[in-house]
Amino acid sequence: MNATELKKFIQKRARELGFDDVGVAKAERLNDAAVLLRSWLDTGQHGTMSYMDNHFEKRVNPTALVPGAKTVISFLYNYHQPNLNWTKGQPKIASYAVGRDYHKVLKKKLKILFREIEEKVGTINGRIFTDSAPVMERQWAERSGLGWRGKHTLLIHPKKGSWFFLAEIISDLDLKPDDPIEDHCGTCTRCIDACPTDAISPQGYLMDGSKCISYLTIEKKEEIPKEFEGKMQDWIFGCDICQDVCPWNRFAKAHNEPDFQPRADYSALSRKEWAEMTEEQFDEWFFGTPVKRAKYEGLKRNIDFLRK
Q: Report the catalytic residues.
A: 131
DSSP conformation letters of the chain: --HHHHHHHHHHHHHHTT-SEEEEEE----HHHHHHHHHHHHTTTTTT-GGGGTTHHHHH-HHHHSTT--EEEEEEEE---TT--PPTT--EE-GGGSSS-HHHHHHHHHHHHHHHHHHHH----EEEESS-SS--HHHHHHHTTS-EE-TTSSEEBTTTBS-EEEEEEEES---PPPPP-----TT--HHHHH-TT--B-TTSS-B-GGG-HHIIIII--SPPPGGGTT-STTEEE---HHHHT-GGGGG------GGGS-SS-GGG--HHHHHT--HHHHHHHHTTSGGGGGHHHHHHHHHHHTT-
Interacting residues of 261 by C-beta distance below 8 A, sequence separation 6+: 99
| Residue 227 Cα to chain centre, angstroms | 26
